Amino acid sequence: MYKFVIIIALASIAGCRSEIRVYSDYDREYNLKKYRTFNWSQNINVELGKHPLQYNELSDKRMKSAVQEQMVRRGYVSSTDKPDLVIHYHIIIDDLSIVTTDPHGYFYGPYWMHLRTNVYQYKEGTLIIDLMDPKTNNLIWRGWAASALPESYSPDQLEGLIKTAVAKIFRKFPKKVTN
């Protein structure tokens, strides 16, 4: 019985790893459909010096490539000359834990009731993508994704995770721009 409970708990944690939860928010005063061009923020990321594992040239290249692909699919054009939208991203990695007690879902009398508490630790990553109006410096749209992260991954797996998260974030983005 105890093994069954542990298998269920581990399966729920493993299930969290593959699930990417996605959210978005926007300023209703701005109509994203009126914007046509975009570029990356010229401001150096504040986070860059603080989190070298998350913010490095390799992950930056992967992020920008995935976001550019999604923006182009929606009809936006990359422009270095006074873009209509400026893009910025944040990466947050948190150490989290889940606590379970045994037995789970069963009732035993007081004599047999010996609760055992299990703590499973994992890392959760959150990716935030911001679109800003460069004229007003106001945040227009924010999309973010959160998911439990695998303990280790290859560069190909990391690139796939970034592409998947960015694609899911942009599903919350307004419809394609009309020309």
Domain 2-6+20-170 has CATH 3.30.110.30: no
Buried b (16+ CB within 10 A) or exposed e, 117-133: eeeeebebbbbbbbbbb
Is residue 175 classed exposed, middle or buried when 0-12, 13-18 and 19+ CB atoms within 10 A define those classes? Answer: exposed
pTM of the predicted model as reported, rounded to 2 decimal places:
0.77
Is omega for the bond preceding 103 within 30 degrees of 0, making it cis?
yes
Do residues 145 and 126 touch, judged by C-beta distance below 8 A? yes
* The pLDDT of residue 5 is above 50: no
pLDDT digits (tens, 9 = 90+) for 16-34: 445 999 999 999 999 888 8
pLDDT digits (tens, 9 = 90+) for 109-157: 565 666 677 888 988 989 999 999 999 999 999 999 999 988 887 888 8
pLDDT for 11 equals 41
CA atoms of 48 and 65, how far apart (whole Å): 18
Closest by CA to 167, choosing from 72, 91, 87, 27, is 72
